[in-house]
Amino acid sequence: MLNDTPKKKKAPKPDTKWRRFRRIQKVCLYRAVTPCMMYLFMSLIALALQALADGTQVYEIVLGSVCIAGGAAFNAHLAFSYGKMHFDSYLTGCLHRQNMRMGILSGGDHRPEHEYRPWKGFLIGFYVGLPVLIFGTLAIFQPTWDWAELVLDMFAAWAILPIQWYRGAVFPGEQNWDYPPVSGGWSLLFILLPVIVTGVFYIVGAHVEKRRKEDESRRTEEINAVKGKRK
């Protein structure tokens, strides 16, 4: 009704270090979902192709490697986009902070947790590799849990397939999950794949966006200079 008093907006909570830390983790975890799904999708394709390889190990390795490389390529593309977006947010944050120092109130809903930081790409990559970390750790402390290998095959075949290939090549006929020289725990090393790919291409994406912004600024200055001379 017209006579109703407007509802008061809740005052924003103070921006403490702990709240910002939690928001950063939430943003990075959210950004890790799509790359993780891409790795999952390519892992399922690799398993399907291996089932069609008629037990020929060379074909299994070639087809599986192509699928792993495909997942890493999707990961690189997404990380590159994240770096560009976060660098844009970083520039907006710089403008907000500059206005605050000058006593000017900036509008918009800028959120500092979306700003670019070089380490964020590696954190996103770490979250992408969480399935490997969880089930690879179970393989170390509970080596008799054969279902851990099945779960890794389904959700992170990109990490366990190279271990299985090596086991089949060096120890033919040995398929035990807890076989010490090539146990499933070695899959933990492959968490470095998404960490490195995401971290590197995140930084590259930010650098490319920075160069683009600098070129735009330079062209704008040149156009303004030409207009000034004409006047």
pTM, two decimals, is 0.84
- What is the model's pLDDT at position 85? 94
Angle at 39 between CA 210 and CA 145, to 5 degrees: 135
Higher pLDDT, 180 or 155: 155
Q: What is the mean pLDDT of residues 48-68?
A: 78
Q: List, for residues 9-54, the tens digit of each pLDDT value.
A: 555 566 678 888 899 999 999 999 999 999 999 888 888 887 776 5
- What is the model's pLDDT at position 157? 85
Q: List, for residues 165-217, the tens digit of each pLDDT value.
A: 877 777 766 555 445 566 677 888 899 999 999 999 999 999 999 999 888 88
Q: How confident is the model at residue 1 (pLDDT cuts 50, 70, 90)?
A: very low
Q: How confident is the model at residue 161 (pLDDT cuts 50, 70, 90)?
A: confident
- What is the model's pLDDT at position 6? 54
Burial pattern 120-158, b for ≥16 Cβ within 10 A else e, equals bbbbbbbbbbbbbbebbebbeeebebeebbebbbebbbb
